[in-house]
Structures are given as structure tokens and as C-alpha cells.
């Protein structure tokens, strides 16, 4: 899509975030309202799980678009926040289903899951961008030396040559 200029970067990211988050959440709503129809619940659950692959070209790639200099930090924070539902969800499920294993109780679990997954996706669809953010670049960029050569050490050029020739 990007190579053919069919869409810009923001359009591509929004497309994949729609599939990986919004559509995923909508399909979980389908699970919630499938009632006792096991075949329909399995279909919706399978389709919702299949959409998660789109997150690689959406949520994961957007970090590089927004701030290439800080993509690793963004990925780390995102990963850290992303695991929180993994250890909170059993507590939430227990809250809804501990004393009542009815379809209505499980419906609440799937509705909550759908909202948690889809809401950030819809917010990005309306408010998000893939443009590099101003905070990507440091405020005090080092200026180039007068001779045009960059050095990363405190040694002079002749001292550096001397040290490297000894090895």
C-alpha cells in the first residue's frame, strides 16, 4: 500500500489498527451475544483471534513512525502496559463469574474485553497520526565541528590512530 502510494503511512496504520483492534473488539461483541450457540461463538472467537496479526503492521509499527529515536523505549513501555491485563483478567473474570456461571455473566466478560480492545483502536482512528513527533529529536543537538569530522572520543585523531595500530 505504501509502495504504490495507495495510502500514506497514517492511512496504512489506521487500516491495520482498525483490523487488529476495532474489528477484533467487534467480533468479541459477537461472542458475547452468541448465547448458547457454540458454533457461532467459536466462529466469532476464531475470527477475532485471526485479526490480532494485523497489530504487527499497526500498533507495533506505529512506534517507529512516531519516534524512531525512542521506538525501543516506546515498545518497552507498551509491552509493560500490555501484560497488565494478563494478570488482572483472571481477577476480573472471577468477579463476574465466581458465583454465577450463567451466559449473562460470561456475556459481561466478553463485552468488557471487547471494549478494552476496541476503544483504543477507535480513539486512534479519530485522533491518531503516524507523523514523527517533535519530542523525537533532542532539544540540544550536537553541532558539527568546524572541520566537519565527528569524533566520539576525547582522543585526538593522531592519538586514535596510534592506539588502533598497536592492536
- Is residue 62 packed enough to be buried (19+ CB in 10 Å), middle (13-18) or exposed (0-12)? buried
Give the integer Cα–Cα distance in Å for 19 and 55.
Answer: 8
Q: Per-residue pLDDT tens for 129-166? A: 889 988 888 776 655 565 656 555 444 555 444 544 44
- Considering the entire predicted model, what is its pTM? 0.74
Average pLDDT in the 87-113 region?
94
Amino acid at each position: 500500500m505504501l509502495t504504490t502510494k495507495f495510502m500514506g503511512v497514517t492511512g496504512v496504520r489506521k487500516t491495520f489498527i482498525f483490523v487488529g483492534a476495532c474489528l477484533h473488539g467487534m467480533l468479541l461483541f459477537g461472542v458475547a451475544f452468541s448465547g448458547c450457540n457454540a458454533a457461532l461463538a467459536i466462529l466469532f472467537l476464531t475470527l477475532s483471534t485471526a485479526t490480532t496479526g494485523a497489530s504487527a503492521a499497526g500498533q507495533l509499527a506505529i512506534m517507529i513512525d512516531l519516534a524512531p529515536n525512542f521506538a525501543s523505549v516506546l515498545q518497552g513501555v507498551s509491552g509493560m502496559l500490555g501484560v497488565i491485563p494478563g494478570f488482572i483478567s483472571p481477577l476480573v473474570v472471577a468477579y463476574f463469574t465466581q458465583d454465577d456461571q450463567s451466559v449473562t455473566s460470561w456475556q459481561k466478560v466478553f463485552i468488557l474485553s471487547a471494549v478494552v480492545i476496541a476503544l483504543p483502536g477507535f480513539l486512534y482512528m479519530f485522533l491518531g497520526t503516524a507523523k514523527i513527533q517533535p519530542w523525537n529529536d533532542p532539544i540540544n543537538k550536537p553541532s558539527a565541528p568546524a572541520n566537519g569530522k565527528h569524533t566520539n572520543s576525547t582522543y585526538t585523531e593522531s592519538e586514535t590512530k596510534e592506539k588502533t595500530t598497536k592492536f
